Structure formats: C-alpha cells, structure tokens
C-alpha cells in the first residue's frame, strides 16, 4: 500500500492506494466519529463490492443506499431520494457517508455530505481509475442541472481516500482508458518525466498491471494534492487541473451527456488545448503530434465527429463555469509538463482549433 497526504491544515487527509483496501476495517475506523455509517453506491458497484464494504464496516450498522449507474443519475432527484433516506433513517450529524464507486457516486455523496445537516463526514472509496486519480481527491462535489454539469456543488473534503486498485480489474476497458486521459493530463500540466513514463508504460497500464497502475495513481494524486493544497478553492493555479475540460465539457454537452465518457471528452479536449497552445505560439507543433500519438495509442478519440458544429461547441464553452467577467479562461501548455492559464483568446482562434480537430489535424 502506498500512502500520501493532502495538506489542508485541520482538513488534511490521507490517500491510500493499493489492492484489497476496501476490506480493511482499520483503514476506515480512525475516520468515523459516530456510531453509524451509510454506504452510497450505484447498482453496478454495489453488486460487486457493496457487501464487502458493509462487512468491513459491520461495527457501524451500515446502511447501503444505491442508485442507477451513470452520469444521468447525478441529479437533484437522486440527491433528494438519498437525502430523504437519511432523514427517514434519523441519521444525525455524526453519521459518516462512504462513497463507493466512480466519480458520479463520489460527487453525489460528497455533495450530500456537504449539505446534510450542514455537513457531515465522508470517506471516498473510488472504484474507477478516473475517480482514483482525480474526482475522489480535492473536495469538489456536485450535481448536474439540465443547463450544465456540476452547476450545483460545494467544496467538501473527505476524511480519507481508499483507492483499492484491485477493483479496477472489473472495470470495463473503455472506462479504464477514459481514466487514463486524466493521468495523461497530470503529465501534460506538471511533469514531463511522468508523461514520458506513461508513454513507456502504456502497454502495462492498458493491461491492468497493478504495480504500473499504483504508480500512475500515486503520482497523479501527488500532483493533484500539491496543486489543491496551494489553491483549495480554485482562485488560481487549481484551474490548471481543468486542462482540456472546457473543450471536453462542451463536447459532453453537445453530444447529450453519456455518448462520450468524461475522460474521452477530456482527452480530445486536451488535444484541442495543445492545438490552441501551438496556435498561440506557445507549443511546438511536434508536441501537439506527440499528444495526439499518445491519446491514439491509449485508444482515446483524437477527432471531433463531423456532426458537432463549431458554433455549438463555442456556445457551450461560453456557458462554462470557467467564464469570469465574460472572459473565457482556458488552460494551455507552454511546454509538455508546463500548463498555463490564458484568457482573452479570440473566438476566431478557438473556432480554428475546433475545425482543425474535426479534420484530424489539431
Ligand atoms: N469532483 C471532481 O473533482 C471530479 C473530477 C473529475 C470528474 N468528476 C466527475 O466524475 C464523473 C465521472 O466519473 P467516472 O468516470 O468514475 O464515472 P461513473 O461514476 O459513472 O462510473 C463509470 C461506470 O463504471 C461503473 N463502475 C465503477 N467502478 C467499477 C468497477 N470497479 N467495476 C465495474 N464497474 C465499475 C459504474 O457503475 C459506471 O457505470 C463525472 O460526473 C465527472 O463530472 C469529478
């Protein structure tokens, strides 16, 4: 087991990474203040791991709540059903929620924990690669509205993160690949050596090699933890973590959420961000080709489908949360391993980048 810490004064917490963690009662116990625990999961993950987590938490009379898997469940309606179950079960402020699942479960459970009785403790037990390297760490929680993703949310840090790498063995390959997009993101924004390591170890990562995955998750969480510790509420550098996300969220919205996985959309979004960086004179063209080659080898999309119009994407980008005072802020690259926040990018340049990605020549 590998462990690292996210340093946030009295809200600091440990991130444990390794196979078989979700059965280990001792890893949960120090973080549970009250006598009751509620495990929240989706039906898919609950069917695979719910019983084992409840067995580990047997001392706390665990209640297992579950909802339908997928992004379409990250709604106010699901939130209300879960909240009502807590209210009906008369859970008090000392309850600890355990988020068992991918980013959808983590974001939903975190938001419920942030708001139930003005805030209760929660533990993240992420079971997708995306959740283990990204969404379970950093305290962003939230749910979607028809007008956009994560528009209702709160910052609420978990008490600890247990990333059980053995759970990745049951993860569909497409989900694993989508998670790799976020791993690649950390290399691109913060660590050129890590990116080179990913390029070398890609076959092992795709084959589900536990040692390679543990190392990828550890380094990803380490980078995220450093950035979040310095800028918890995203007043500056934390925005670097959004590389590819403004483009990616627009792709998800334009395709009606669900057709593309979040990581797939972010992967193509990162290629667009690299293309943008080249157009802004920040990144050599061969580095854009390098990003495209890696995404392609990983099995991530590198082309925008012909039926997504440029104006449609630009429209969604303008509605993104990262618009401040009417200025679209985007993450670009000054080099492989060096992300930079840029604003005031002319719409015309964005349109060119989108068009070029459609033709497959970002
Ligand atoms: N809070 C953050 O900082 C943050 C960061 C990135 C993404 N996100 C959010 O995360 C969400 C995406 O998360 P995700 O990609 O984990 O999707 P997800 O939670 O929908 O999980 C993907 C699918 O895999 C299944 N699954 C999960 N673990 C499994 C396992 N071990 N074995 C078999 N099947 C398994 C789930 O049932 C689901 O069908 C999005 O809503 C996104 O907005 C949040």
- Which of the listed residues 47, 144, 175 should we mutate to test ligand 1's pocket, taking the one with most ligand atoms within 8 A of CB? 175
Please state, as a whole number, how many other Cβ atoms lie within 10 Å of the Cβ of residue 331: 26
Q: Can you tell me whether residue 66 is helix, strand or coil?
A: strand
Q: Tell me if residue 16 is catalytic.
A: no
128 CA to middle of ligand 1, Å?
6
Cα–Cα distance between 269 and 298 in angstroms, integer? 15
Q: Can you tell me whether residue 300 is helix, strand or coil?
A: coil
Report the Cα 37 to chain-centroid distance in Å. 24
Contact 191, 223 (CB under 8 A): yes
Residues counted in the chain: 362
Q: Which domains does the chain have, with CATH numbers?
A: 2-170 (3.40.50.1970), 173-358 (1.20.1090.10)
Residue 205 CB contacts under 8 Å (≥ 6 apart), including other chains: 180, 183, 198, 212, 213, 216
Rounded to 5 degrees, φ, ψ at 98 are -120, 120
pLDDT on residue 83: 98
131 CA to middle of ligand 1, Å?
6
Contact 273, 244 (CB under 8 A): yes
**Residue 139 near ligand 1, beta carbon < 6 Å:** no
Q: Averaged in consecutive runs of 10 residues, what is the pLDDT profile of the chain (362 residues)?
A: 95 97 98 97 98 98 97 96 98 98 98 98 98 97 88 97 98 98 98 98 98 98 97 92 94 85 96 97 97 98 93 85 69 98 91 86 48
Q: Tell me if residue 140 is catalytic.
A: yes
Instruction: Report the chain's C-alpha Rg in angstroms.
Output: 20
Cα–Cα distance between 31 and 13 in angstroms, integer? 10
Q: Give the CA distances from residue 48 to residues 7, 54, 100, 268, 300, in Å, rounded to whole numbers and listed in that order.
A: 32, 12, 10, 31, 27
Q: What is the pTM of this model?
A: 0.95
Cα–Cα distance between 199 and 215 in angstroms, integer? 14
pLDDT on residue 253: 86
pLDDT on residue 358: 87
């Amino acid at each position: 087991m590998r462990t690292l810490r996210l340093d946030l004064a009295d809200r600091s917490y440990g991130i444990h990474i390794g196979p078989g963690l979700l059965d280990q009662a001792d890893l949960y116990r120090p973080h549970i203040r009250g006598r009751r625990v509620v495990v929240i999961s989706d039906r898919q993950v609950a069917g695979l791991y719910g019983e084992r987590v409840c067995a580990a938490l047997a001392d706390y009379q665990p209640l297992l709540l579950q909802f339908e898997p997928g992004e379409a469940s990250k709604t106010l309606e699901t939130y209300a059903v879960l909240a009502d179950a807590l209210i009906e079960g008369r859970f008090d402020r000392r309850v600890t929620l355990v988020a068992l699942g991918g980013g959808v479960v983590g974001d939903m459970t975190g938001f419920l924990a942030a708001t139930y009785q003005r805030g209760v403790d929660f533990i993240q037990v992420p079971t997708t690669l995306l959740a283990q390297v990204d969404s379970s760490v950093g305290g962003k929680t939230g749910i979607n509205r028809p007008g956009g993703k994560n528009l209702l949310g709160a910052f609420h840090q978990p008490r600890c993160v247990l990333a059980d790498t053995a759970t990745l063995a049951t993860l569909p390959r497409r989900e694993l690949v989508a998670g790799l997009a976020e791993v690649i993101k950390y290399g691109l924004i913060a660590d050129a050596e890590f990116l080179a390591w990913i390029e070398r170890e890609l076959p092992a990562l795709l084959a589900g090699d536990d040692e390679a995955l543990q190392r990828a998750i550890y380094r990803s969480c380490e980078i995220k933890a450093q950035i979040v510790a310095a800028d918890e509420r995203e007043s500056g550098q934390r925005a670097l973590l959004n590389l590819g996300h403004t483009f990616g969220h627009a792709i998800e919205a334009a395709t009606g959420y669900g057709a593309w996985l979040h990581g797939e959309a972010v992967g193509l979004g990162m290629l667009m961000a690299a293309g943008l960086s080249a157009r802004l004179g920040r990144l050599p063209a061969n580095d854009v080709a390098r990003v495209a080659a890696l995404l392609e080898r990983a099995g991530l999309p590198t082309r925008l489908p012909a039926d997504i119009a440029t104006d449609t994407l630009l429209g969604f980008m303008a509605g993104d949360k990262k618009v401040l005072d009417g200025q679209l802020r985007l993450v670009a690259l000054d080099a492989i391993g060096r992300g930079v926040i840029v604003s005031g990018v002319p719409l015309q340049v964005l349109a060119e980048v989108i068009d070029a990605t459609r033709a497959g020549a970002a």
